[in-house]
Amino acid sequence: MKKSLLRLGMGVALLIAFASCQKLGELKPEYFTVNPNPLEVKAGKVEGTITATFPEKYFAEKGVVEVTPVLKYEGGEALSESATYQGTKVQGNNETIQYKAGGTVSQNFSFDFVPAMKNSTLALRFKATLNDKEVEIPEIEIAVGCITTATLANAGEIAPAVAKANFMRDTAEVTEADIMFQIQQSAVKNNKDVKALNAAAAATAKDTLRTIQGLEVISAASPDGGVELNEKLANARQNNTVKFLKKQKNNNAAIDAKYIAQDWEGFQKLVNESSIQDKELILSVLSSYQDPAEREAQIKNLSAAYTELAKDILPKLRRSHLALTVIKAGKTDAQILEMAKANPDTLNVEELMYAATIAENAADAAAFTEANAKQNPNDWRTNNNLAALQFENGKYAEANASLNAAGNNTDAEQAEINFNNALLAMLENNTSDAEAFLGKASGVEQLAEAEGLLNIQNGEYAKAIENFGNTVSNNAALAQLLSGNIEKAASILDNVADKNADTYYLSAICAARQNDLEKVCTALKSVAGICKEKAAGAATDLEFAKFWLLDEFKAAIQ
């Protein structure tokens, strides 16, 4: 019995000794893998997964380790959400790691991207306890650098929306007159309105800027008296009116004549505009009966109302209506441009807007646009177009102010204003506002292109490619590049019409991913020729890491 107790005591002592020798030692970088590595910006975030493999007999049974991913960069650091792991003899709800077998666990990390993170280091910071006592585990670094190619998406390269002018070079002038007839009569009587119409035709013949387009004649009978009678009567009124007009001096207008046997449409219009007795009942009859004879019979049954109709409505329908259309020639393009340069205040808002579209150079177009906004500040289009000009010149704060002014001068949701506000929002990576604005920009020609850019900023590269379609631009190429379609991206960039520093920089990235040093250097030399600062950035861009130490690369970015 004593021997058994002795053995039991020795066993407990060994277990206590074994437990007490467990410890939480230093964690090594090789215990951890990061995906992606190097880190990468997507949708304004630096995100990924850390997989930790704890070796055998590392994680003490009474140990607890809190792991916090930390992204360190010049001027600051960002912390992601922590994950906590525990040994098998710890009471808690954290993920458990076996002591003897070790274990593999994963945790996600996410950081809001700031430009300084381009040169950053992903570290793990630990807070640990063993037997409820704090244990120090040194911080370790597990990934270096961040690919920021997605941030090359640029709203500044999309053309802003310009409101169109309602410009009409030639304007129509219409002179109208009525020849009235007695009931069941077709004899034509001249009047002062007809004389004025003839005078307008005569004056046009002496004006080099005006041309008679034509003279329309519509003769009619009132809808009482039956269809057969009114058919003959309206036709006679038409014929007599045409004969009368052809006898007028200085009126050689081509006549387009027709007649209406029973003018029910005109009747309904006059009744609707009147205050006649039983007005609603008469209108109800018109809508309920389509047969002319039945309509007439039903209306005549309204004896009191019909008396009033016969006095005030029906006589107005016994007429020939004349409309002389004269076309006045407007200013020529040369005249408009000359006036826009010398005296823009002599042109109206439509003429100035048109002048900006036919200007001989960008400076003149800008001057005309600015003059129009100054002269016509209450027209939303002038401020919108000024905002578009300011946007193209990189004056984004001024463009924002002009768009606010444009919005204040319209009660409607104008697509052009919303589209341009979306571009400004995307410049700030404010994707939620940009999406809301684009939702109210239907009809703008560049809408799909802007949606493609928004897709890139949201990390939806396949959608971006779909929206860009056949667009040839830096942004369209970037969508292909981010999707892994390097050859397609390079082909688009080769065909960009107005290549800039971004075009060549993206070409250099395509070449780097294809391991083509010669093309990398050629493209970066072009970048340096436009913007030395941008070319110098390649020295710390992980897209070119494999070339950093090569003399050819160093020379290309100088």
Euclidean distance between CA atoms 310 and 307, whole angstroms:
5
The per-residue pLDDT for 20 is 45
Residues 6+ apart with CB under 8 A from 150: 40, 41, 42, 43, 456, 459, 478, 482
Task: Write the pLDDT tens digit of every residue in 367-377.
Answer: 999 999 999 99
Q: Is residue 395 part of a domain?
A: no
Is the Cβ–Cβ distance between 341 and 203 less than 8 Å? no
Same domain, 134 and 209: no
Give the residue-averaged pLDDT of 89-97. 95
Residue 541 in any domain: the answer is no
Q: pLDDT tens digits for 287-324?
A: 898 888 898 888 888 867 888 898 999 999 999 999 99
Residues 53 and 122 in one domain: yes
H or E stretch including 271? helix 264-273
Sign of CA dihedral 479, 480, 484, 487: negative
Q: Tens digit of pLDDT for each residue in 124-137?
A: 999 999 999 999 99
In a domain, 106, yes or no: yes
CATH label of the domain that carries residue 217:
3.30.1330.60
Residue ending a domain, among 327, 357, 381, is 327
Q: Are residues 219 and 116 in the same domain?
A: no
pLDDT in the model for residue 21: 52
Range of the domain at 281: 171-327
HSE-up of 31 (CA within 13 Å, CB side)?
19
103 & 178 share domain: no
120 & 191 share domain: no
Any domain includes 551 = no
- Helices (DSSP H) in 274-319: which residue ranges? 279-288, 292-300, 303-312
In a domain, 280, yes or no: yes
| DSSP-based helix, strand, coil % in the chain, nearest 5 | 50, 20, 30
The total domain count for the chain is 2
**CA-closest candidate to residue 473, choices 454, 494, 496:** 496
Do 134 and 182 belong to one domain? no
Residue 551, Cβ neighbours under 10 Å: how many? 7
Domain membership of residue 433 (yes or no) is no
- pLDDT reading at 187 higher than 50: yes
| Long-range contact pairs involving 498-505 (C-beta distance under 8 Å, separation at least 24) | 499/526, 500/474, 500/530, 501/526, 501/527, 501/530, 501/531, 501/534, 501/535, 502/152, 502/154, 502/157, 502/474, 502/534, 503/474, 504/530, 505/152, 505/534, 505/535, 505/538
Coil, strand or helix at 107: strand
What is d(CA 171, CA 272) in angstroms, rounded to the nearest whole number?
32
Residue ranges with strand state E in 374-424:
none
Query: Are the C-beta atoms of residues 490 and 507 closer than 8 Å to each other?
Result: yes
Question: 267-305 in b/e burial notation, b at 16+ Cβ within 10 A?
Answer: beebbeeeebebeeebeebbeeeeeeeebbebbeebeeb
pLDDT per position as a tens digit, 6-32 = 343 333 333 333 344 577 888 999 999
What's the confidence (pLDDT) of residue 302?
Answer: 82
| Phi/psi at 129 (5° precision) | -135, 150
d(CA 354, CA 415): 20
**What is residue 122's three-state secondary structure?**
strand
Q: What's the sign of the alpha-carbon dihedral 63, 68, 69, 71? A: negative
Q: Helix, strand or coil for residue 176?
A: strand
Q: 2 pLDDT exceeds 50?
A: no
Q: Are 246 and 113 within one domain?
A: no
Average pLDDT over residues 190-203: 93
Decide if 424 is inside a domain.
no
Average pLDDT of the chain? Answer: 93
Query: What pLDDT sits at residue 276?
Result: 87
Regarding whether 18 and 99 lie in a shared domain, the answer is: yes
Q: Which of 266, 300, 327 is the last residue of a domain?
A: 327
DSSP string, 61-96: TTEEEEEEEEEEETTEEEE---EEEE-TT--SSSEE
Please identify, among 280, 312, 327, the residue that sits at the C-terminal boundary of a domain. Answer: 327
Half-sphere exposure of 115 (CA within 13 A, CB side): 5
Task: Return all residues near 501 (Cβ < 8 A) that are at least 6 apart.
Answer: 526, 527, 530, 531, 534, 535
pLDDT at residue 197 is higher than 70: yes
* CATH number of the domain enclosing 74: 2.60.40.10
Residues 66 and 103 in one domain: yes
Please provide the size of the chain in residues. Answer: 558
Q: Is residue 311 part of a domain?
A: yes
Q: Are residues 288 and 192 in the same domain?
A: yes
245 plus 100 within the same structural domain: no
Rounded CA-CA distance 89/98 in Å is: 10
- Whether 54 and 21 share a structural domain: yes
412-464: pLDDT as tens digits: 999 999 999 999 999 999 999 999 999 999 999 999 999 999 999 999 999 99
